[in-house]
Amino acid sequence: MTGPGTICVTGGAGYIGSHACLALAAQKRKAVVVDNLSTGSRDAVRWAPLAKLDLRQTEALTETLIRHGVDTVLHFAASAYVGESVSNPQKYYDNNVGGMLSLLTACAAAGVKTFVLSSSCATYGVPERVPITEATAQRPINPYGTTKLICEQMLKDIAGQTAMSYAILRYFNVAGADGSGTLRERHDPETHLIPLTLFAAAGQGPALRVFGGDYDTPDGSCIRDYVHVSDLVQGHLLALEHLRARGGNLTLNLGSGRGTSNLEIVGMVERILNRPVPVQIAPRRAGDPPALVADISRAKDVLGFVPRRSGLATIITDAARSFALEAAHAH
Ligand SMILES: NC(=O)c1ccc[n+]([C@@H]2O[C@H](COP(=O)([O-])OP(=O)(O)OC[C@H]3O[C@@H](n4cnc5c(N)ncnc54)[C@H](O)[C@@H]3O)[C@@H](O)[C@H]2O)c1
């Protein structure tokens, strides 16, 4: 299925953006990646040309959107480390909020019709109740979450004035890798639990630190909602189809709808790799809620979103395969 215009994937050299490019290529959609390679890697950009640009270069960005005939933007580019956002909030306001304002200015100038924003469950902060619906109050507890909430509001305000349709997609914990092992999760420094657990199991990293063993959860460790990156990307394609067919706007949670504890992940990695994972139970981190789980019934109802690959065994098998393939290539 080919859309009328080109899709600009900001952050297409990063973890989720590169998976989105792979899925768009499978649908024979024309795309262009805009990325400054600050955390992404050049070799993850394989399915679309790369415009190596910073989002805040508004003029060059506008010119790129016009030259490629872009009518749709999937906006993944952002700084996305919660801890760093606490120690260096200026960087987050500059890159995430400044980048979004520049991008929306360029989109208005280039006549972009459809916009999809990567938002986050971090905008909900510590929810009063789980599962979390889209109506749950948004009270972020760190600058990263605040910048995402500001981006949501900016999109609502500016899209209203520019006749742009938008989808705000609030991701929970994105994990796994494309099943063919073509791409992998890659963050530097790595802070995500599944890669860290795989590194610890392989003896490539220190013992896994599990923050808090005394939460009021069945095994005492925190519960999060892990969604397979391929399911998440599918949610974007469904949102695009929906906006193209019906216009309007969407605000949706994208998760698996299931909670998984840190120690369940450890157990699953041990089973799948048949190796022990050295674990150190560390003190709780400030601001870490005991459980964050998405209610995904709206995405199911509106888009027909079904997270088929988001079972824990599939996520970990795909992630482990992608790391093993990369290690094999490195030798
Ligand atoms: N990974 C998750 O679990 C998760 C959860 C919720 C939301 N998100 C959001 O999803 C998006 C993608 O996350 P990811 O895990 O793929 O991160 P990532 O760091 O792998 O990718 C981000 C990409 O954006 C690029 N980038 C950053 N700032 C830029 C700028 N100013 N101009 C041009 N390019 C820039 C980076 O070089 C990188 O390639 C982010 O917006 C993040 O906040 C991720």
Q: DSSP letters of 81-147?
A: -HHHHHH-HHHHIIIIIIHHHHHHHHHHHHT--EEEEEEEGGGG-S-SSSSBPTTS----SSHHHHH
Run of H or E including 18:
helix 15-26
- Residue 251, SS3 per DSSP: strand
Q: Are 141 and 125 in contact (CB under 8 A)?
A: yes
Per-residue pLDDT, 189: 84
Per-residue pLDDT, 22: 97
Mean pLDDT across the stretch 143-170? 96
Buried b (16+ CB within 10 A) or exposed e, 258-278: bbbbbbbbbebbeebbeeebe
pLDDT classification of 2: cutoffs 50, 70, 90 = very low
Per-residue pLDDT, 331: 58
Mean pLDDT across the stretch 179-199? 87
Per-residue pLDDT, 185: 81
Q: Tell me how far the alpha carbon of residue 11 lies from the centroid of ligand 1, in angstroms.
A: 6
Q: Are 221 and 212 in contact (CB under 8 A)?
A: yes
Mean pLDDT across the stretch 149-176? 96
Q: Which residues are catalytically annotated?
A: 144
| pLDDT tops 50 at residue 1 | no
What percentage of residues in the chain have a pLDDT greater than 70? 97
Peptide bond into 276 cis (omega under 30): no
pLDDT classification of 184: cutoffs 50, 70, 90 = confident
Distance, CA of 30 to CA of 70 (rounded, Å): 9
Binding site membership of 13 for ligand 1 (Cβ less than 6 Å): yes
Q: Are 167 and 161 in contact (CB under 8 A)?
A: no
Binding site membership of 295 for ligand 1 (Cβ less than 6 Å): no
Mean pLDDT across the stretch 200-210? 91
Per-residue pLDDT, 287: 81
Mean pLDDT across the stretch 215-236? 97
Opening angle at CA 14, ends 13 and 16, nearest 5: 120
Opening angle at CA 32, ends 29 and 37, nearest 5: 140
CA nearest to 275, candidates 199, 223, 209, 221:
199
What percentage of residues in the chain have a pLDDT greater than 90? 88
pLDDT in tens, 17-61: 999 999 999 999 999 999 999 999 999 999 999 999 999 999 999
CA nearest to 131, candidates 288, 298, 293:
293
The ligand 1 atom at the shortest distance from the C-alpha of residue 119 is 7
- Domains for the chain: give ranges and CATH numbers: 6-175+227-254 (3.40.50.720), 193-224+257-295+304-330 (3.90.25.10)
**Residue 98, C-beta contacts closer than 8 angstroms, at least 6 positions apart:** 55, 56
The one-letter amino acid code at 327 reads A
Q: Tell me how far the alpha carbon of residue 190 lies from the centroid of ligand 1, in angstroms.
A: 13
Pocket test for ligand 1, best of 8, 19, 36, 93 (most atoms within 8 A of CB): 36
pLDDT classification of 76: cutoffs 50, 70, 90 = very high
Distance, CA of 315 to CA of 253 (rounded, Å): 19
Q: What are phi and psi of 131, to 5 degrees?
A: -65, 160
Give 141-157 as a DSSP string: SSHHHHHHHHHHHHHHH
pLDDT classification of 163: cutoffs 50, 70, 90 = confident
Per-residue pLDDT, 330: 64
Q: What is the mean pLDDT of the chain?
A: 94
pLDDT in tens, 252-263: 999 999 999 999
User: CA 187 from chain center: how many Å?
Assistant: 12
Mean pLDDT across the stretch 125-133? 95
The ligand 1 atom at the shortest distance from the C-alpha of residue 53 is 33
pLDDT classification of 181: cutoffs 50, 70, 90 = confident
Mean pLDDT across the stretch 200-207? 88
Per-residue pLDDT, 328: 63
pTM of the model: 0.96
Mean pLDDT across the stretch 293-320? 97
Binding site membership of 60 for ligand 1 (Cβ less than 6 Å): no
